[in-house]
Amino acid sequence: MRRVFALPLLLLLSLWLAAPAWADGLGSGSSFVSTAVKKVAPAVVRIDTERSVPKVGLDPSFNDPLLRELFGDQLPHSRERGQGSGIVIDAKGLVLTNAHVVEGADRVEVTLADGRDVEGTVLGSDAITDLAVVSIPRGSGLKAAPLGDSERLEVGDWAIALGTPYGLERTVTLGIVSSLHRNITSLGFSDKRLDLIQTDAAINPGNSGGPLINASGEVVGINTLVRSGPGAGLGFAIPINLAKGVAAQLGQGSTVVHPYLGLQLVPLNPRLARDNNADPNALLQLPERDGALVQRVLPESPAETAGLRRGDLVVAAAEQAVPDPAALLRLVEASQVGETLPLTVLRGDQQLELSIRPAALPHA
């Protein structure tokens, strides 16, 4: 009998010894999820907004530009309400959320975790990273969330989303980090600069601006958007390491400066290059390698000044390989406005070493 049970007993013992730290609470009425949530939940807030929007469909004459110029704000308007989430990042009264949550808002009301409603003031907003900072009165008991390190995330890590989807407060969903460095342009947003955390933790309308946390109860991302499909949905969050830097500038009332080169780029790889080169009607022969292919050079841009041309293939920047446009964008974003950024460019059968000085991205 002892021989029959020896192997299962050893197996159970080894499993117990190898159990992860978050499993300690399983079977004892709590879990690693509830433990993690308790660390962050007191800092999660709901954000309600109101904005004035022109009424449409009442009278076509109100669309006349002359009438708009004459009557200005006297034209019929309605109040539009919106809702999102946020996270207290400083006990002095700073709340981090998405820019699209507070965009154009005339009034911002913040509901704290203890149920108190306070007026909020938008200190700053950056549409490029979809982040905003809202100031609220420093009240007793205001607690900031612990912020983690998004660079330490790995695919397969636990991901917990908190927020107020559909106005349902104190909602928690669980999933994993399903991908990292998901470029937002691949999701159809060409006016943003973001490499996102992808998760299968449910993120729904109203979750925007709320925290994505890890199993240790640290904020690793700010929920920003969701893509739904048959049978499943994918959520995306802004890495907290990026959000920390942007929030520090917005919290001081500063405008976030983004370096830019003035290039429109498309990815190139050997297969695409071979297909192009085999076409007798091809306008030019392309290098058969990975890189960021220049599709257009914007006039009066740093790229034009540096001598870049349509058809150039950028293969390296700042002595780092550039396998695609997203890699170049990350290096540009990490550069400094006005400082030299070296580029390695292939033009036909020539390799060129160019120097370019990024400028501040013009605001729309």
Tell me the one-letter amino acid at 298: L
Encoding tokens for residue 268?
């190139």
100 is catalytic: yes
- Residue of 208, 258, 324, 335 marked active site: 208
Tell me the one-letter amino acid at 244: K
Question: Are the CB atoms for 209 and 48 separated by under 8 Å?
Answer: no
Cα(353)–Cα(88) distance, rounded to whole angstroms? 46
Which SS3 state, helix, strand or coil, does residue 291 take? Answer: strand
Question: Are the CB atoms for 222 and 194 separated by under 8 Å?
Answer: no
130 is catalytic: yes
Which SS3 state, helix, strand or coil, does residue 288 take? Answer: coil
- Residue of 48, 90, 126, 130 marked active site: 130
- Tell me whether strands 341-347 and 350-356 are parallel, antiparallel or unpaired: antiparallel
363 is catalytic: no
Cα(280)–Cα(276) distance, rounded to whole angstroms? 9
- Residue of 100, 150, 258, 324 marked active site: 100
Which SS3 state, helix, strand or coil, does residue 97 take? Answer: strand
CA-wise closest residue to 260 among 136, 357, 126: 357
Catalytic residues: 100, 130, 208
